[in-house]
Structure 1
Amino acid sequence: MDADLDDLARRTQREVSGPHEEELHRRLTAVADPDDLAAVLTETQRPLWAREIAAFRLGCAGDRRAFEPLVLLLNHRDPDRCVSASYALTRLGDPRTAQAAAALATNERRVAYALTPVRLLTALRAPESAPALITTLNRRLTPGDPHWRVALACVEGLGALADERARPVLRTALTHPRLSAAASAALSRLP
């Protein structure tokens, strides 16, 4: 986790303004007490980057107090925050993670931010994974849908999961130029 925390610290350092925030940033990346980190999640007036660091560190340490803040970050408009949250959620091991990722991946109002939840569902290989990817992919196969990257991630995920229930939607995906090669590869992995 040290390299990942270093990456997070470098990225969030760009958001720091002023000496008070510099000190907070140093403290959050160095503090070892989980209660100190958890306090940052509930204190008012903390910048988003501070909450992200605290949630990331707690999640990677397996502290379930990080679950809700990480789920919120998983669906953030900043892709780097989404990836950071996904990484920590995977290490957290909370049984609610797959259900939360499925809800985010299938939320049509937030489909522009569904890429990371889709990839997380694939990594989790949970019972909720294939049904959520099938639902999301079905919705992306309408003509003119602009979210082809989400569709491609669903196709690749369904191939990795090799779930027989995906066969019909993957066959439909064969007709879409941007998805055809991945759909063919995914179909070849099905039993």
Structure 2
Amino acid sequence: MEEEFHELTDRVRAELRSPQDLVAYERLLGLARKNTPAGREELARMLVAVERPLWAREIAAFILGCAGDKRAFETLVLLLNYRDPVRCATAAHALSRLGDPRTARAAAALATNPLRTAYALHPVRLLAELRAPQSVPALIATLERLLTPHNPYWRVALACVEGLGALGDRRAVPALAAAVAHPRLAAAAAASLARLGVHEVPGQGGPEAKGGGGRPGADDAQRGPGPRGRQ
């Protein structure tokens, strides 16, 4: 976690507003360096203490999460759905190392919630990294919901496309084939289909190749699927 921790602490240092903040910040860094059971107890108390600044709880949760301490779970899930993307990314990193079985369920709930789509990018990426039973169904559901014209959340859709390709589950073929019709998703969708052994978009009229093979051509990446049934 060394690089990510330095990025977090450098960012937080820029948020400090008073000498008291600096003292509290240095105290947190000292606890992180010691990495003792007593230090982790103090960090855990910070997560539930009243009137603690968000940056202090973020650092404490990150340290505990990367150490596999499940007391960080609730705070990290809160940050995973935060309006500031950089905090979402920090939380996702710690959650991926926490090893809590609740993480995938929480990430799937955030990714599939249509009211929280603006903050779904990091939950989607986390699902792909976790490779949990919830990952593929949640990414398919999120992608299918976002395959509408002029959808402003195309980066979330793109993360779904890339994640489904990495997960390698053929249940994703229909959704990925539909994504080929969207210019911003076309190349990534074709590449993900190729990773699944599909080099001809279903419904295009040609045979569907199975197994490994070369990369899709530029034409394959740009053309959209014709009429097709659900697979």
What is the letter of the counterpart of residue 3 of structure 2?
A: A
Matching of residues 123-162 of structure 1 within 5 Å: 123-162=129-168
Give TM-score, length-normalised by structure 1: 0.98
Matched residue, 2:23: 23
Unaligned runs of 5+ in 2: 198-231
Task: Kindly state the Cα deviation for residue 144 of structure 1 after the two structures are TM-superposed.
Answer: 1.8
Counterpart secondary structure, 2:52: coil
Task: Kindly state the Cα deviation for residue 6 of structure 1 after the two structures are TM-superposed.
Answer: 1.5
**Deviations for 1:105-147, whole angstroms, at most 9, x for unmatched residues?**
0011110010000000000011100000000000100112110
Matched residue, 1:76: 82
Matching of residues 38-187 of structure 1 within 5 Å: 38-187=44-193
Task: Kindly state the Cα deviation for residue 2 of structure 1 after the two structures are TM-superposed.
Answer: 2.6
Q: Indicate if the aligned counterparts of 1:70 and 1:89 stay in contact, CA closer than 8 A.
A: yes
Q: Aligned partners of 1:122 and 1:91: how far apart in 2?
A: 14
What is the letter of the counterpart of residue 130 of structure 1?
A: V
What is the letter of the counterpart of residue 4 of structure 1?
A: E
Task: Kindly state the Cα deviation for residue 5 of structure 1 after the two structures are TM-superposed.
Answer: 1.5
Bigger Rg, which one: 2
Q: Which deviates more, 27-36 or 104-113?
A: 27-36
What is the letter of the counterpart of residue 85 of structure 2?
A: P
Q: Aligned partners of 2:4 and 2:182: how far apart in 1?
A: 36
Counterpart secondary structure, 1:54: helix
Q: Indicate if the aligned counterparts of 1:5 and 1:29 stay in contact, CA closer than 8 A.
A: no
Percent of matched pairs sharing the same residue: 62
| Greater helix share, structure number | 1
Q: Aligned partners of 1:97 and 1:37: how far apart in 2?
A: 20
Count of equivalent residues: 191
Counterpart secondary structure, 2:159: helix
RMSD, matched Cα: 0.8
Q: Aligned partners of 2:192 and 2:4: how far apart in 1?
A: 31
Matched residue, 1:2: 2
Q: Which has the higher contact order (CA 8 A, sep 6+)?
A: 1
Q: Aligned partners of 1:189 and 1:14: how far apart in 2?
A: 42
Counterpart secondary structure, 1:35: helix
Matched residue, 2:222: none
Task: Kindly state the Cα deviation for residue 79 of structure 1 after the two structures are TM-superposed.
Answer: 0.9
Q: Aligned partners of 1:68 and 1:20: how far apart in 2?
A: 26
Unaligned runs of 5+ in 1: none
Counterpart secondary structure, 1:143: coil
